[in-house]
Amino acid sequence: MLSIRKIGVVGRTYRNLARYRQILAILFKYGFGDLIDLLKIEQYIEVGLQLISKNRRDVSEKLSRAKRIRMAIEELGPTYIKLGQILSSRPDFIPDDFRRELSKLQDRVPPFSFSDVIKIVETEIGGSLEARFDFFDEQPFASASIGQVHRAGLPDGEVVAVKVQRPGIKRIIEVDLEIMLHLATLMERNIKEIALYKPVKIVEEFARTLEREIDYKIEATSMERFARDFLDDPTVYIPKVFRDTTTERVLTMELVDGIKVSEIEKLEAAGLDRKKITASGADFYLKQVFNYGFFHADPHPGNIFVLPDNVICLLDFGMTGSVDRQTREEFVDLIDSVIHQHESRATQVLLKLTYWDDEPDIRMLEKDVADFMGQHLYKPLKDIEIGKLLNRLLELSSRHRLMIPPDLFLMMKTLTVIEGVALMLDPDFDMIAKSEPFIKRVKLAKFYPDRIAGDLIKLGSEMLQFVQQFPKDMLEITRLIRQQKLSFKTENKGLEAMLATHDQISNRLSFSVIIAALIIGSALIVISEIPPLFYGISLIGIILFSAAAIMAIWLLIAILRKGRL
């Protein structure tokens, strides 16, 4: 479990101090001093941090803002690189130019020392490395930001891959997430344009993703679940997990010798059938999404291997997603209504699947959905790429400030990536045609007798629970009212504006009465020739007449400013 605390004052958490200074220095270096000013960060940081020179700027200021952000993220390290990689596929969170630039981020991390590997493995699994493994290669064959993978052998002769977590990575991630959350809070509070993208929500979602990814026991459980789900499928193979040598920081699994799905020439040289691989791979993922609602959420070509007889093998189960039955059914309704160009129905389903802070303009949303269909569904279904369709839908949702739930987004992203891999293997592949049987099954499942019976039983149970609970709730509310622990507050929206208008009317009437009284009084004084006189006219009368004139002009200007006489 990650230990992430909200930061009020950075100086109170000294574990953040050096890292905060480093982050600010990198932001200044890439020309984001204006962002620091907008965040009003001086009140949160110590004097030592304020001494970072605002003149530390690089020639990179001549580059686009998106490119400078990408370069800064690369220098900030693994946690920020992972965040950038996730954001690069979220058109509902960030603008297109930034998304395209962030998609170039690469996780280039050198391996850590073998002495650290020995220390971590022996601490985690108990006993010496020699006692638990027949051999353990010093050089890793894969290295990433969170861990690296070594080839090893178990005493029974099984050759395995051992994934070892980087030393101190959990602490590094915790510090980075605390600072990230603090900066996101300041952005949401002080920068209106960025606040629209809900940076705090992005960081919180990212923290949940990382929390699952750095616990190798969760990954092991996911692998075992996939193995059970596809136990009877001869086209799929999931590597075996060795629980005796698997912990939160060490994962031991079967070493699979296959060909990466992206290595087309090697596939053909091995006599493997690309069309069969494409068909079985698409089936594999569509079953995950539509049959089980639990899916591998990082299906880039480096994680998909092909074994003899065109068998698909998945690796790296650190990122998975799950969607419940109702969400799957609503997603199918959305795709079906979009493909058949029912804009009103598509709009309603889209609203069911998303959430928002401000109520969207339904008529404008429906119009944009209709325009979207007209622009993208003018060609035959076999020529439509479902990935592009989903990306355009995400962009449309973003324009209307509709937010996609994280796991639903992961599902959409997974389908998009899988279609891309499939088209790489077989340019004639039709994802919509392949998805059609799965979509039909999900739609028909709602009308199966056992499903209807189950829904009726659930509804009846909920109604019975409501009937039983309602009197108790009413008695509890009555008791709280009697004890004066519960009060009701009514609010009349729009009443303040009406009262202000009434005040304005009464003020103008009062002002007019005063002006009229001054004019009448002045006239009487002038007629009575009350001294002192000026050229035979009462000076007091002249002053009062002048005051009435000034007040009348003032009132007239106020009325004209409102645009209504």
Which residues are catalytically annotated? 298
DSSP secondary structure letter of residue 532: S
Q: Which of 63, 35, 36 is nearest to 50 (CA)?
A: 36
Amino acid at residue number 241: V
In b/e form, how buried is each residue of 419-444, taking b as 16+ CB within 10 angstroms? bbbbbebbeebbbbebbeebbeebee
Annotate 504-520 with DSSP letters as a single string.
HHHHHHHHHHHHHHHHH
Half-sphere exposure of 36 (CA within 13 A, CB side): 22
Q: Tokens for 488?
A: 């009701």
Q: Tokens for 441?
A: 């099954």
Question: What is the rounded distance in angstroms from the CA atom of residue 321 to the CA atom of residue 298?
Answer: 10
Strands 236-237 and 311-314: parallel
Under a CB-based contact definition with an 8 Å cutoff, are residues 2 and 177 in contact? yes
Look at residue 307 and give its three-state secondary structure: strand
Length of the chain as a residue count: 565
Look at residue 156 and give its three-state secondary structure: coil
Nearest-5° angle of CA 77, CA 75, CA 416?
A: 65
Question: What is the rounded distance in angstroms from the CA atom of residue 291 to the CA atom of residue 285?
Answer: 10
DSSP secondary structure letter of residue 241: B
Number of H helices and E strands in the chain, helices first, is: 23, 13
Look at residue 305 and give its three-state secondary structure: strand
Look at residue 295 and give its three-state secondary structure: strand
Sorted by sequence, the CB contacts under 8 Å of residue 99 that are 6+ apart come out as 87, 88, 89, 90, 91
